[in-house]
């Protein structure tokens, strides 16, 4: 870690700069604790992503403001009554909060309206999903509140990660990658998918992660062909199967998102190895191509071309590669996008800058980002190939696509289920920095898997 203090003020100032305003006040609210309906059971609290970005505050019900002209950063602390303190502990003082979070001032949330009124703002900028009630009726009646501009400004700030963020994301990747390796060491036929998911969660929480970044997937064999498989409750019953593990921990509110696919036996079966090698080639080709100023959507197209070459070689596809590409044939085997921005949110904000439209063809349709790659952007690179019956039926029904597919070969490979390999990278000045260091080469994986049966 490069710094102990979260760079809240830098994030506020960066956002103000994106806003393009010289005066006015930015006002943001933290998330509140939600309870389940007709119950006092709380949803696990995750801080509002934009609020965390601008403050580094993990507690619920705080708020913050920036006086743009003076650059004064103000933290509003939710006060804790003596009665509440018995249950949750005595909180730090206002000044402790101010210093720990690197703000210029700290007040209690009860004073939001008066503190902001004293700044005499000509304009208040808020996020569209944040309540303005705490600004008070008087202030709301006298000062115009803009609910549109701030969100784009914060999102664009969040797209470009600073050193603190990159260090945290690297650490989140290291913890999560280590957990993936632990699963590779321990998984044996006879266990259940739930044990692998449970062990993963246990390992990342034990190492200080806040929570799972998203619902983990531990999908063996054919379950890997269900893209959002989260049941994770089937027996690992065959050493001919692979397991697809898509799981990442969130550390200090920054997500990691890693997928590894590996054999449940000590070695890849020949069919699994064929498909795995193609996906690995896709991923390496894309990572090598991730350099500043290229377009993200071209990475998707590149992954499809490498897949087409590989699928032609093993005989699943046939015919001319340009015709295969023109007819989006690979999209029937990789129905998702090559990756997405990642940061505080797993699917991070800013993927489609204002005015950018989605491309409505198989695969590209689901692409979560479409923009020029620039230094300090963080992406997942997650090519995959899957044998999804329903999609392959669509492919069979489309003559331009079907003519390129050998469905006998598809039937032969169907039991493979699916393969995905996913790393998290940050674009640098000259290329990219891969934050995910856990093994993905066939020889490395087979060496680890041998230990599970040693």
Q: How far is the CB of 328 from its own copies (least distance, A)?
A: 15
Q: How far is the CB of 285 from its own copies (least distance, A)?
A: 25
Contact status: 151 vs its own copies (CB under 8 A): yes
d(CA 139, CA 207): 45
Question: What residues pair up with 336 in beta bridges, in sequence order?
Answer: none
d(CA 252, CA 242): 32
- When binding is defined by CB under 8 A, the residue of 274, 297, 345, 423 that contacts its own copies is 345
Contact status: 347 vs its own copies (CB under 8 A): yes
- When binding is defined by CB under 8 A, the residue of 4, 20, 22, 36 that contacts its own copies is 36
d(CA 227, CA 214): 14
Q: How far is the CB of 204 from its own copies (least distance, A)?
A: 7
How many binding residues for its own copies (CB under 8 A)? Answer: 57
d(CA 430, CA 230): 38
> What residues from 372 to 411 belong to the interface with its own copies (CB under 8 A)?
388-391
- When binding is defined by CB under 8 A, the residue of 78, 192, 238, 398 that contacts its own copies is 192
Q: How far is the CB of 345 from its own copies (least distance, A)?
A: 5
d(CA 27, CA 155): 15
Question: What residues pair up with 212 in beta bridges, in sequence order?
Answer: 249
Contact status: 452 vs its own copies (CB under 8 A): no
- When binding is defined by CB under 8 A, the residue of 94, 205, 314, 321 that contacts its own copies is 205
The interface region with its own copies, picked from 2-10, 212-220, 259-267, 373-381 by CB under 8 A, is 212-220
Strand, coil or helix: 46? coil
Contact status: 44 vs its own copies (CB under 8 A): yes
> What residues from 16 to 35 belong to the interface with its own copies (CB under 8 A)?
31, 34
Contact 103, 8 (CB under 8 A): yes
- When binding is defined by CB under 8 A, the residue of 18, 173, 261, 346 that contacts its own copies is 346
Residue with tokens 């080709």: 285
Contact 211, 46 (CB under 8 A): yes
Q: Which value, to the nearest 10 degrees, does the dihedral of the CA atoms of residues 287, 291, 294, 299 take?
A: 0
The interface region with its own copies, picked from 43-51, 135-143, 312-320, 432-440 by CB under 8 A, is 43-51
List Cβ neighbours of 320 (8 Å cut-off, separation of 6 or more). Answer: none
Site string for its own copies, 61-100 (x = CB under 8 A): ---------------------x--xxxxxx----------
Strand pairing class (217-220; 105-108): unpaired
Contact status: 109 vs its own copies (CB under 8 A): no
d(CA 250, CA 348): 13
The interface region with its own copies, picked from 164-172, 222-230, 277-285, 296-304 by CB under 8 A, is 222-230
**Per-residue DSSP letters for 98-145?**
HHHHT-SEEEEGGGHHHHHHHH--S-EE--TTS--GGG-HHHHHHS-E
Name the residues that contact its own copies, by CB under 8 A: 31, 34, 36-44, 46, 48-50, 82, 85-90, 127, 129, 151, 192, 194-195, 197-208, 213-215, 226-229, 233, 335, 345-347, 349, 388-391
């Amino acid at each position: 870690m490069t710094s102990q203090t979260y760079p809240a003020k830098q994030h506020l100032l960066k956002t103000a700069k994106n806003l393009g305003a010289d005066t006015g006040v930015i006002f943001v609210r933290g998330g509140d604790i939600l309870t389940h309906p007709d119950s006092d059971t709380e949803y696990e609290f995750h801080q509002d992503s934009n609020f965390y970005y601008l403050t580094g505050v993990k507690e619920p019900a705080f708020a913050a403001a920036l006086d743009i002209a003076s650059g004064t950063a103000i933290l509003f602390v939710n006060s804790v009554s003596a009665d509440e303190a018995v249950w949750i502990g005595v909180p730090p003082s206002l000044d402790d909060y101010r210093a720990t979070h690197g703000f210029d001032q700290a007040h209690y949330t009860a004073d939001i309206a008066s503190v902001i009124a004293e700044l005499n703002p000509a304009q208040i900028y808020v996020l569209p999903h944040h309540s303005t009630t705490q600004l008070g009726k008087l202030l709301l009646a006298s000062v115009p509140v803009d609910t549109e501009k701030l969100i784009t400004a914060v999102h664009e700030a969040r797209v470009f990660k600073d050193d603190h963020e990159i260090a945290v994301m690297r650490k989140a990747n290291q913890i999560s990658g280590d957990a993936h390796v632990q699963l590779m060491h321990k998984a044996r036929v006879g266990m259940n998918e739930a044990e692998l998911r449970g062990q993963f969660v246990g390992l990342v929480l034990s190492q200080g992660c806040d929570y799972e970044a998203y619902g983990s997937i531990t999908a063996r064999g054919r379950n890997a062909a269900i893209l959002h498989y989260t049941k994770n409750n089937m027996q690992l019953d065959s050493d001919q199967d692979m397991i697809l593990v898509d799981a990442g921990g969130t550390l200090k509110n920054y997500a990691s998102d890693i997928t590894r696919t590996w054999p449940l036996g000590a070695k890849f079966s020949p069919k699994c190895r064929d498909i795995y090698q193609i996906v690995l080639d896709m991923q390496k080709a894309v990572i090598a191509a991730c350099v500043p100023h290229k377009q993200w959507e071209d990475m998707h197209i590149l992954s499809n071309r490498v897949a087409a070459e590989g699928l032609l070689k093993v005989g699943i596809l046939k015919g001319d590669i340009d015709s295969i590409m023109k007819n989006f044939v690979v999209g029937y085997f990789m129905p998702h996008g090559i990756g997405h921005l990642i940061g505080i949110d797993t699917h991070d904000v800013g993927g489609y800058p204002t005015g950018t439209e989605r491309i409505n063809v198989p695969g590209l349709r689901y692409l979560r980002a479409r923009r020029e790659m620039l230094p300090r952007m963080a992406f997942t690179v997650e090519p995959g190939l899957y044998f999804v019956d329903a999609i392959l039926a669509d492919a069979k029904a489309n003559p331009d696509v079907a003519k390129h597919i050998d469905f006998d070969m598809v039937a032969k490979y169907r039991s493979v289920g699916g393969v995905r390999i996913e790393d998290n990278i940050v674009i640098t000045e000259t290329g990219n920095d891969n934050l995910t260091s856990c093994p993905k080469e066939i020889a490395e994986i087979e060496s680890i898997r041998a230990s599970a049966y040693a």
